[in-house]
Structure 1
Amino acid sequence: MTATVPTARLGRDFHHLWTASAVSNLGDGVTMVAGPLLVASLTRDPAAVAAAALAPQLPWLLFSLVSGALVDRVDRRQLIVTVNVGRGLVLGALAGAVLAGVATVPLICLAFFLTGVGETLADTAAGALLPAVVPKERLEQANSRLFATYVVGNQFAAKPLGAYLFVLAAALPFGFDAATFGLAALLLALLRRRPVPAATPDPAVIGAERSLRADIAAGLRALWAVPVLRTLAVSIAVMNVAFCAAFAAFVLYARQRLGLAEVGYGVLLTASAFGGLAGSTLATRLRARFGTPTLLRVGLLIEVGLQVVLAATRQPWVAGAALAVWGVHTMVWGVLVVSLRQRLVPDRLRGRVNSVYSLADLGGAAVGTALGGVLARATGSIVAPFWLAAAVLAALAAVAWRRLADAG
């Protein structure tokens, strides 16, 4: 069954949310580039560089479930505004420390960790808020625009801009990011107020003392009770374990298997970003033409195909083409799954269910990355992780295939 093309308008509130997302994603991307450059200017210790990279990711593993419970208790618009102001202040302080010459690796890690904590709250709240901002029939279009903005700002524009600003002055990228958070907060403050979700009685906790533990448990039960959401959460966890295990040593694969130097490696990675941009713009039309279940099933086949192609080829252009197709799939998958979750989950539970899914998503990635290096070393083969990932993903496709029929 195919979906109909929506006709309702996205509205002024969405455009405020969209613009704020574009601004903050550009700032995040600038910091993502400038952060490693700053750490590398202070130390040559690879462990220190890795610690700075881990610092903003760690809060997702530690606090995502708690953040989801909090998002379902408070005014989501006000929460995002407050968090963005806080992140702006943290990065402004970091910029000041760099300018004064007193920045240290522990200080940088602390700043990145705090902004990561804020991200678990702001991103979860934004995903839960969107269905209250746009009509349900326009969720795919709204999410497509948000995803496209992320790719353009965070993946393309921010990379050269971040490096350029760092060359001009080491403190400048972090001051720029602080300013983008301030502007995003201002834009989001213009959104109309919505009712606090906690004001709606939650059958999952009626008759019991309202606690964070009870709220988190209710979110876990809510996701697990919907078969298609359960299938998608397990699928993304398995997909990310397999993918990140295979790609943990991708830079060595590009050098040893494909014969690429540093510039070629960068171009190869860009192929998936171009695919992602195409996927974010095509997602709504593809859903209208083929329907969500078909696209999700095709996505599972693309996951398998990518691993097989990378394991078998020695040609950089073949690997680049496979990554571009995979990039299209990842954006289409993301738009469809986020929209489906927003449509199926009640408002009072949306933050908690989103956080459970994020834990499966990012937790799977962390586990896969940890396993990847061990696997490559144990097998002594640069392509063995790709073959293993293909086998795991093929098994996943076989198990999930029929269960995705309800993802309409």
Structure 2
Amino acid sequence: MLSKGDLEGIDLRFARPGTNFGKLWTASTVSFLGDGVTLAAGPLLAASVTRDPILVAGVAVAQQLPWLLFSLPGGALVDRLDRRRVMWISDAVRCAAIGFLGGAVLLDLASLPILYAAFFVLGAATVPFSAASTSILPSVVTREGLAGANGRLFGAQVVAGQMVGPPLGGLLFASSTSLPFLVDAGSFVAASALVLAMDGTFRATGLQEAPRTTLRAEISEGFAWLWGHRLLRTLAMALGVMNLTSAATIAVLVLFAGGRLGLGSVGYGLLLSSLAVGGVLGALCAGRVVGWLGAGTTMRGGLLVEASTSAVIALSHNTYVVGTMLALFGFHAIVWNVVTISLRQELVPDGLLGRVNSSYRLLGMGGAAVGALLGGLLAKGFGLTAPFWFAAASVAVMTIVSWRTLGNGTVTAARENANTPI
């Protein structure tokens, strides 16, 4: 729960349950809980079918591949359509995909192809949903409240999606293999209804006067704007490296937990929840950390944390040490996201926000699909610690490359020249 200090900057009128932000936050919390349940249950289902690291990693590959395929057109559609409509339709598709998987498991028809197909559709619907949910927030809270509102949303994500959801998913899977997927499907129904209940229209502003062009031209405009902005371009590339390496480690974490740490399904769920412990602290402290260090120094420190935690995990056989490192990683990840998402919402014109966010996600999230496959290959060829060593080395290199750009001075200059590439 956020303290009063963490809510500074949020217009509290937007945080009440009956307001649009209250509905958005509640919908996100419900959906995050379902996501967390599936986060644990998906790899457990795959590991019950095969012990091949590459095939287990295939679940993560299937879910992340849509970021490479659909990010750019998804962002362009978000800037054309009512963003609330994009969100509830995406939730309905996600409900159908994960509900189908739950039904297949219930009828004992589940197989790796069905699992891959369900997670691919789940990921494909998440692409426009993510672009719309990020782009809609400046229409729901004041500009001064963006960091606080993002902190609240990320706080919900880590509590529901990482602290409560994964161990619940492990327990539900141990009880009935179909149950976690059916619970997740229900969460999407509830989230879709809450989004539909938001008042008003949420189309991008600043486009009414502009003549409608082709989808390809609109995509190119958003990508060109991002590529011309030195700070956001660097952040997108840094996120790409971090997501590639974290996907490589998460894809085989279920095998690492069982083979190296000796954990079962419940223990694996609890290990995942340690990410949330750090994430909760990150959501609570993000504003204070940024106020103390500045946004640039905070991001530099985050890169150092990510590289070092991967190295320590690779060296350890101790569950508590690994859990502590995952908690520290979770703290950094949430602070990083609060800082970088708030910056995008501040710096990008509303009429370009969906396309720039999607271009950013393509660079940042597209690597996750490659990383998941790479993690399986590294684990199979060199052992279960290889993905963690790869992550530590790669992020260390990215830290050196981006150090000068990720400074407080660059962030200040970008804010002073908001909406104009620097």
Q: What band does the TM-score fall into relative to the shorter chain? A: 0.7 to 0.9
Partner of 1:230: 233
Letter in 2 for 1:283: A
**TM-superposed deviation, 1:95:** 3.3
Letter in 1 for 2:86: L
Deviation readout 1:305-344 (Å, 9 max, x if unpaired): 4356557778766555444333212111101101110111
Work out whether 1:117 is the aligned partner of 2:118. no
Work out whether 1:325 is the aligned partner of 2:332. no
Partner of 2:356: 353
Residues 358 and 226 of structure 1: CA distance in aligned 2, closer, same or farther (over 3 Å): same
Work out whether 1:85 is the aligned partner of 2:92. yes
Work out whether 1:288 is the aligned partner of 2:295. no
Please, which runs of 5 or more residues in structure 1 have no aligned partner?
Answer: none
Partner of 2:301: 298
Deviation readout 1:165-195 (Å, 9 max, x if unpaired): 3344443323222221111111111111225
Give runs of aligned pairs for residues 71-82 of structure 1, distance below 5 A: 71-82=78-89
Q: CA RMSD in A?
A: 3.5
**TM-score in terms of structure 2 length:** 0.81
- Further displaced range: 45-54 or 378-387: 378-387
Residues 318 and 158 of structure 1: CA distance in aligned 2, closer, same or farther (over 3 Å): closer
Contact in 2 for aligned 1:88/1:177 (Cα 8 Å): yes
Contact in 1 for aligned 2:300/2:403 (Cα 8 Å): no
Work out whether 1:400 is the aligned partner of 2:405. yes
Contact in 1 for aligned 2:146/2:342 (Cα 8 Å): yes
Partner of 1:31: 38
Work out whether 1:239 is the aligned partner of 2:246. no
Please, which runs of 5 or more residues in structure 2 have no aligned partner?
Answer: 1-5, 416-422
Partner of 1:344: 347
- Further displaced range: 115-124 or 171-180: 171-180
Deviation readout 1:4-27 (Å, 9 max, x if unpaired): 942622511101000000111111
Mapped partners of 2:117, 2:94: distance in 1: 12
Residues 387 and 116 of structure 1: CA distance in aligned 2, closer, same or farther (over 3 Å): closer
Mapped partners of 1:48, 1:228: distance in 2: 37
Mapped partners of 1:24, 1:251: distance in 2: 23
Contact in 2 for aligned 1:237/1:361 (Cα 8 Å): yes
Letter in 2 for 1:117: A
Residues 334 and 161 of structure 1: CA distance in aligned 2, closer, same or farther (over 3 Å): same
**TM-superposed deviation, 1:85:** 2.1
Deviation readout 1:178-222 (Å, 9 max, x if unpaired): 22111111111111122522771586xx5xx72221111111012
Contact in 2 for aligned 1:308/1:390 (Cα 8 Å): no
**TM-superposed deviation, 1:288:** 3.4
Work out whether 1:184 is the aligned partner of 2:185. no
**TM-superposed deviation, 1:273:** 3.0
- Further displaced range: 235-244 or 314-323: 314-323
Mapped partners of 2:329, 2:223: distance in 1: 30
Match of 2:161 among 144, 147, 154: 154
Residues 47 and 226 of structure 1: CA distance in aligned 2, closer, same or farther (over 3 Å): closer
Partner of 1:19: 26
Work out whether 1:261 is the aligned partner of 2:268. no
- Further displaced range: 354-363 or 65-74: 354-363
Deviation readout 1:134-164 (Å, 9 max, x if unpaired): 1111111111111111111111212232233
Mapped partners of 1:247, 1:38: distance in 2: 15
Mapped partners of 2:287, 2:191: distance in 1: 26
**TM-score in terms of structure 1 length:** 0.83
Deviation readout 1:261-320 (Å, 9 max, x if unpaired): 336877665443321221011112323343322322322333344356557778766555
Contact in 1 for aligned 2:40/2:170 (Cα 8 Å): yes
Partner of 2:136: 129
Letter in 2 for 1:124: A
Contact in 2 for aligned 1:245/1:389 (Cα 8 Å): no
Letter in 2 for 1:349: L
Letter in 2 for 1:327: G
| Structure 2 residue matching 1:72: 3-state secondary structure | helix
Residues 388 and 4 of structure 1: CA distance in aligned 2, closer, same or farther (over 3 Å): same
Partner of 1:59: 66
Identity of aligned residues (%): 42
Match of 2:394 among 380, 389, 408: 389
Residues 392 and 355 of structure 1: CA distance in aligned 2, closer, same or farther (over 3 Å): same
Mapped partners of 1:176, 1:254: distance in 2: 25
Residues 164 and 224 of structure 1: CA distance in aligned 2, closer, same or farther (over 3 Å): same
Mapped partners of 1:378, 1:90: distance in 2: 33
Mapped partners of 2:142, 2:337: distance in 1: 19
- Further displaced range: 9-18 or 40-49: 40-49
Contact in 1 for aligned 2:67/2:362 (Cα 8 Å): yes
Residues 43 and 403 of structure 1: CA distance in aligned 2, closer, same or farther (over 3 Å): same
Letter in 1 for 2:88: V
- Further displaced range: 271-280 or 121-130: 271-280
- Further displaced range: 228-237 or 87-96: 87-96
Contact in 1 for aligned 2:61/2:369 (Cα 8 Å): no
**TM-superposed deviation, 1:373:** 6.1
| Structure 2 residue matching 1:197: 3-state secondary structure | coil
Q: How many residues align?
A: 400
